[in-house]
Amino acid sequence: MKNKLIAALFIVVIYLAIKYLFPPFMIVMYPVVLLVTFLHEFGHAFFAVITGGSVDAIQINANGGGFAMISGGFAPLVLLGGYVGSAIFGNLLFYIGVKMPRSSVGMLLFLSLIMIFVSLYWFNSLFTTALLFFFAFIFIFIAVKKPTISSYLLMILGLLSVIYILEDYKVGPSSDIHKFSQIFVFIPEQIWMFVFLFIVLFITYLNIKTIIRQSGGDKS
């Protein structure tokens, strides 16, 4: 596990180096951007369903944007489910990749099934369906043919997703924050932006703290 934490730190350093020293190479983050968009919209859908709402469609755009067409549900949780929900899912992928390598194959397969389900049951565009099928194919291939790297893939995807989510706090949740401020009108929109960011930072802090605390003598 210690080796994986070192690898995670190395990934962060490489990411920051590329972003600030070689920005044109940030194109390599494009798949992660699309994955974060999926996690964001799925977060809306997930919290809508568990609070009694329904989902008509999920859309992911080539420019990294997207939306979820939702009816009903508990609006505050549904809105939180996008930015905060994607951070929860990203941290979960990172945790499983670092601490639960034996569960990584199962998680990749489960994530693939979710993507296939979303692409078909909540169909909205050929691009979204093709993209999610592509992700699912890659994940299934790695889980079946290269199971030994499954945990590293989850760790990398989870970590990069969380980093991107944290950096995107002014843009990613903007529409959600605007709607949130319309529900709770007594708190300015700018304040909600930092509330969302604080929640995500706190979740990430707890995740990293838990990983380190549970490490013990594990050297894997």
Amino acid identity, residue 164?
Y
The H or E element that residue 57 is part of is strand 54-60
Mean pLDDT, residues 90-99 taken together? 93
Is residue 220 predicted with pLDDT exceeding 60? no
Q: How many Cα atoms within 13 Å fall on the side-chain side of residue 192?
A: 23
Q: Full-prediction pTM beyond 0.75?
A: yes
Lowest mean per-residue pLDDT among 17-21, 115-119, 213-217: 213-217
What is the average pLDDT value for the chain, to the nearest integer? 89
